[in-house]
Amino acid sequence: MTKTLLFLSMFSSGLVFAQEDLLKDIDTVKTNTETSQPAFKALQIVTGQSTKLAAKKEWYMIVAHRFGDISAGFKDFFGLDNASTKLGAIYGISDAVSVSLSRETNMKTFEGAVKYRLVKQSENFPVDIVGYNVIGANTELDKDTYPHLKFSDRLSYLTQALISRRFSDKLSVQLTPSFVHKNLYEPTIENKNQFLAGLGGRYKISKRVSLNAEYFVNFDDHSFYKNPLSLGVDIETGGHVFQLLLTNSQINSDIGYLTNATGAWGKGHIFFGFNLYRVF
């Protein structure tokens, strides 16, 4: 009887210790899972980039469409007659670095970009920080208009720091300081170097739907163009995220979107569009 009680006591102690170890493991896995969740489900908040990156060896196909000014009404079928389209691809070199290439019909612009994670939000650090660099080429420019045009004149550059925080399962916010440099520009309506600050966010309203918004302030003191303001809805479906949006910038390219917005929300000069990402 004594031997039996001793055995049961040892067995119970071992079981308690095993359960404690198992709970520790569960807690660790749970913590890692929580800190590894991205602030955003889509690679863009609306048109501007988010801190989400493509995973290693993932391919994304991008189709982005911006229709014309809806204020024209039925005459232009609420903008459907005048559209700008961007097609592109993104590849994840690693979980922390991705590259992309795209082409947009507006100004026949090609853009190549690299996106890279610098810091990940965790218990020890409050935010995600991602770098984003773009080089764009305006192939619509021609020598009839610019007789001394060089290839370098077609180029423009964008550098951004994407700083986001996932506050809860529902709310994420991002700050985006940005710098744009244009080799060819019109000094009467804009500056060669432009600094911008963006604020964007996502609020989840159901398992597969969120409301998104973003606004960029351009500190160019005499720019002819407007500050881009965009509102969107993310819809998650199997294999891709579908984004519907309203914006005052018809241009899809990163640089054009930030620096060449022409619409005015107060006058109803806004553009309807969508972004579609397909993962392979």
Spans of all domains in the chain? 1-36, 41-279
Distance from C-alpha of 35 to C-alpha of 123, rounded to nearest angstrom: 7
For the segment 145-172, what is each residue's pLDDT rounded down to a tens digit? 888 899 999 999 999 999 999 999 999 9
pTM of the model: 0.84
Mean pLDDT, the chain, rounded, equals: 85
Share of residues in the chain with pLDDT > 90 (%): 67
**CATH architecture for the domain at 41-279:** Beta Barrel (2.40)
What pLDDT does residue 23 have?
A: 34
Which band of pLDDT confidence, cut at 50, 70 and 90, is reported for residue 30? very low
Which band of pLDDT confidence, cut at 50, 70 and 90, is reported for residue 110? very high
